[in-house]
Amino acid sequence: MSLNSQLEVRNLSVHFHTIDGTLRVIQGLNLQVSPKEMVGIAGETGCGKSVTAKLVLGILPMPPAQVVSGSILFSGTDLLTLSAKDREGVKQQIAYIPQDPMTSLNPTFTIGSLLLDAIVWRQSGGSLIRYFRKRHTGREVRNAREYAVDLLSRVDIPAPEQVMRRYPIELSGGMRQRVLMATALIGHPKLLVADEPTTALDVTIQKRTLGLLQEKIEEEHLAGIYITHDLGVARNICHRTYVMYAGTVVESGPTKALLDRPFHPYTAGLVRSIPKLTREPYEGIPGQVLDYLNPPEGCRFHPRCSRRMAVCRQTSAPEYRVEKDRWVACHLFSEKDG
Amino acid sequence: MTDGSTVLTKPAAPEPGSDGLSGDGMTRVHEIRRGLRRFMKNRLALIGLIFTLGMVLLAVFAPVISPYPEDAGLKVHFDKQLMPPDRDHWFGTDEVGRDVLSRLLFGARISLLLCVIVLGIAFAIGVPLGLCAGYFEGAVGQVIMRITDVVSSIPFLVLALAVSAALSPSLQNSMLAIAFIWWRSFCRLAYGETLSLKQEDFVMASRSIGASHRHIMFREILPNMSSTLLVKITLDAGYAILVGTAVSFLGAGASPPTPEWGIMVASGRHYLPDSWWVSLFPGLAIFFTVLSFNLLGDGLRDFFHVEVE
Amino acid sequence: MKPDILEIKRLRKYFFRKRRIARLSFRSKITVIRALSECSFKVRKGETFCVVGESGSGKTTLARTIAHLYEPTSGAIILNGEPVSHLEGETLKSYRRKVQMVFQDPSAALNPRQTIAQSIALPLRVHCRLSGHERKQRVRELVGLVQLPVEYMQRYPHALSGGQKQRVGIARALAPEPELLLLDEPTSALDVSVQAKMLELLSDLQDRLGLTYLLITHNLSIVRNLADHIAVMYLGRIVEHGPAEGIFKNPLHPYTRALLSAIPVITEAERQHIPEEITLDGEIPSPTDVQKNCGFVTRCQDRLPACRANAPPELTEARSEHWVGCYHHGSAEGVVV
């Protein structure tokens, strides 16, 4: 755990209360992100990666959700202990790039309008009155507009003044995603949370968008979290990756090493499931994602694991440090812990 | 509704060859119980359901439970006129000495019957028309929808008054007339639903399989609008009862001695405010009945809407 | 040499939309969306023919037009030597028996109000003369064929997982014993660990039943493992098509090369198999614009003056069976340079 962290999640456990019972969604999660670093959270549907992101962003509805233990340290402050007002203040420093550019922009406003609203709101420090006053002051609006045009050009949008006048429906998916990136950069955030922003994009557009994102992380000294189910994308843009399964981190480390030499049986299974350009054989992982109402005793992956041992049925594994910066939550590595 | 279940996926049924993990998936009984639990969470809907069921039961068993069943007919008691509510007559008596409570119970029968007939006819005409208009579109669709537009311009009460002026005022005549224009909103609803359901992949799949038009319309599209139609019927039921009583209140519908709520309110008007019970109780009956259907309808809408997600 | 089961000749599909000229005007003009322009290729019996492209390439429209969900605007579709471009009634019905489609989103492709058994039985009801008992038997066989437990027959789609629903979709498509199966992104909506099993099932079924697959996808890793032949589409046109090995080892069209280089590879070993970094700039033209020249010219890094000045290039056979439509590789008749 470095002192340089922008965000540190310690031993986080989250429960969801539904009609059918209590779902134990996140279990003992640990992760850490430093500035200028892009960290990936990779996993399949339902592994809890979106829940984690929403919790960090502060947009997880808390009555059904309940944080049972753990802390989320942002610049040293535990977000979970903050008052509602302070939490809102912190939100200004955390930016969010949502998943689907098609539905994330309000279609009834022009791009300029959307950006101006966001910029002026940011400058109003949470006061509605101040916001309305600024929004209708010529000088403030002019400054905000200049800032908006600058932001758009920084995300490689051609002819930004014209784009300001356009409606989202007139823009392509790639452009819309870049607009969302520009919105995320307002006010110089410290942390960026990107929730699969390129899933809906074509592969060639995705490449360009990822390149742009990487640039911005560097330029703005941002700490970034990239949520994805696509391991190839993680390899492309994430320095380090956390692989999640059923609400726990099963393995973490530098992305390339993790994918070339996976340690945890789930990671290995996942990598093996994907058809490769080398045409090597591929096979899936047997079994089904677990039932969050009644998770199995011990390691959550053990029912599907081909290398399970007796101990796996009883206790879940802590994170063992296998190499200098690689951690695995698996009993197979208990001796290698160094 | 922002409960957590929209964030997560539901626990899925196991695949073959798995180690028998999470049990046998969802059985029908389990599903029904889960659905009921969800419905019960909506307090108002529950109230609506209870009131509606209560009203139906009261109406069905009216001849058995009313204290003075003969008062619903031609019997009059000039010795008991306008008696206030007391132990023998819980809701008092009207201007010719009839027990208000008994007449209310029989009135419930009339209102419910009327509701069933009107909605039944409207549904039978409107839904197939809307379905065809939405499915075939083109000239057929245009013709049907323009006729619907014309019919939509006819106000219920004005039509009922016109019918009663042309023929003799009777509840049957006016309600039949109303039924024959009530179909318009069913038609429009079915049209809209059909247009959107037509775009669904499973409808396209049926087309690519070569299913007939009839199959697609009645087996693929229609069943998938059943929840919307059910909500509409429930909400319309309340409104239909209201229209029926209004028609009678205006004198264009039922005539005495029929124990219909509308004319009960109308005839009781003359004795306000001294003999308030003659008008008030029928009025309250109308109010509670319409309210129950509305609450039930809203509750059903919430219930189905969440499931759709 | 296996016979051709399907031949597509200069297939075009245009969609015509009436649009008002200005917001408050009554006058309208007709905009044309050129979803497919001049597509030609052949599919051999028993092979897996993959059509790749990004959104707007026209690949889904191609599949749907072949499935006769859309009527072709012009051009020919030929099945087993018989022209089938415009069909009605009984001929259409017998065509539908031979050509079936599996849809992308397994949740949307099944009627939520019908049981699995009912969904699978539908093609049998339409095409086969079977008694109720025989039909049930056949459904049971199909359910076993896609490796689902028999108990699932009475369940409704929402009780099944995505992978299971997709298997139902496959079982339904196989019910009338088709010859050609059109698969529109069959694994895109599935998780990675389920995807592998699905692909294995599809391969297995192909071997067992002698099916021909026309697979639409944007996932090139899947294509590399499954395809015998590949066609690359861009803006409604096929820009390159040929044997899978040839396309991957020697991509000729600049778009194909850019597409391959953009594949997000997982392992270092895979990186050897794709061309080096090509990041495309520029914007994609709208499908409503008439292509006066090569549609890729706005983003192509190897563009020549000829590319902008001339009509969209025709496909020429650059290598054996490997066709490409690019001014760098022939297509030079009457070209202004």
Please, which pLDDT band fits residue A2 given cuts at 50, 70 and 90?
A: low
Question: B-contacting residues of C 94-113, CB under 8 Å?
Answer: 96-97, 100-101, 103-105, 108-113
Looking at residue C5, its amino acid is I
pLDDT at site B22: 31
Q: Which residues of B touch A60 (CB under 8 A)?
A: 7
Put simply, whether A202 touches C (Cβ < 8 Å) is yes
Q: pLDDT at position A336, please?
A: 65
ipTM for this prediction? 0.86
Higher pLDDT: A255 or C21? It is A255
Q: Tell me what the pLDDT averaged over chain A comes to.
A: 89
The mean-pLDDT minimum among B235-239, C129-133, C304-308 falls in C304-308
Q: pLDDT tens, A108-156?
A: 999 999 999 999 988 887 788 888 988 888 888 999 999 999 999 999 8
Q: What chains are in contact with A, requiring at least 3 Cβ pairs below 8 Å?
A: B, C
Distance between CA atoms of residues C223 and C241, nearest Å: 13
Contact across the interface for A16 and B4, Cβ inside 8 Å = yes
* pLDDT score at B309: 34
* Residue A67: its H or E element: strand A65-74
Report yes or no: B79 and B227 within 8 Å, Cβ to Cβ: no
List of chain A residues whose C-beta atoms are within 8 Å of the C-beta of residue C225: 275-276, 279, 282
Between B26, B208, B211, which is nearest C69 by CB?
A: B208
Q: Is the pLDDT of residue A1 over 70?
A: no
Give residues with Cβ within 8 angstroms of A302, minimum separation 6. Answer: A296, A308, A312, A313
The chain B residue lying nearest A286, using CA atoms, is B18
Q: Is the pLDDT of residue A90 over 60?
A: yes
At B12 the pLDDT is 36
Of B12, B207, B226, the CB nearest to C69: B207
For residue A9, what pLDDT is reported? Answer: 93
Selected residue with higher pLDDT from A32 and C332: A32
Distance from CA of A261 to the nearest CA of C (A): 9
Cβ atoms within 10 Å, residue A120:
22
**What is the DSSP annotation of B157-171?**
HHHHHHHHHHS---H
pLDDT score of C1? 63
- Give the span between the Cα atoms of B246 and B261, in whole angstroms: 9
pLDDT at C21: 65
Place of tokens 């208000």: B100
Percent of chain A with pLDDT over 70: 98
Q: Which of C166, C265, C272 to mutate to test the interface with A (most CBs of A within 10 A)?
A: C265
Tokens, residue C55: 């959104």
Superfamily of domain C4-329: P-loop containing nucleotide triphosphate hydrolases (3.40.50.300)
B202 touches chain C (CB under 8 A): yes
Q: Which residue is closest to C108 within chain B, CA to CA?
A: B201
Highest mean pLDDT among A286-290, B100-104, B187-191: B187-191
Kindly report, residue by residue over C159-214, the tens digit of the pLDDT: 898 899 999 999 999 999 999 999 999 998 888 888 999 999 999 999 999 999 99
Q: B10, B193, B202, B221: best mutation site toward chain C, by most C Cβ within 10 Å?
A: B202
pLDDT at B6: 33
Could B18 and A286 be called an inter-chain contact, meaning their C-beta atoms sit closer than 8 Å? yes
Interchain contact, B11 vs A293, CB within 8 Å = yes
Higher pLDDT, C288 or B178: B178
| Contacts with B220 from chain C: Cβ below 8 Å | 111
Question: What is the pLDDT at residue B277?
Answer: 87
Residue B24 has pLDDT above 70, yes or no: no
Interval C253-297: pLDDT, tens: 999 999 998 898 998 888 888 888 787 877 777 777 777 788 888
Burial class (CB in 10 A: 0-12, 13-18, 19+), A315: exposed
CA distance C302 to A71: 53
For the stretch A6-53, pLDDT in tens is 999 999 999 998 877 888 899 889 999 999 999 999 999 888 898 999
Q: What is the pLDDT of residues C3-19, one digit of tens each?
A: 888 999 999 999 888 77
Confidence of residue B97 (pLDDT cuts 50, 70, 90): confident
Strand partners, B216: none
Helical H segments across chain B, by residue range: 28-40, 43-60, 62-65, 100-136, 138-152, 156-166, 171-198, 201-209, 213-215, 226-249, 261-268, 277-308
pLDDT of A271 > 60? The answer is yes
> For position B235, what pLDDT does the model report?
92
pLDDT of res. A124: 84
| The pLDDT value given to residue B280 | 92
What's the rounded mean pLDDT across residues A196-201?
86
> φ, ψ for residue B295 (rounded to 5)?
-65, -45
Q: How far apart are CA C276 and CA C270, in angstroms?
A: 12
Q: Does A42 touch chain C (CB under 8 A)?
A: no
Question: Three-class SS of residue A56?
Answer: helix
B308 part of contact set with chain A, CB < 8 Å: no
Say which of C196, C218, C267 has its CB closest to residue A259. C267
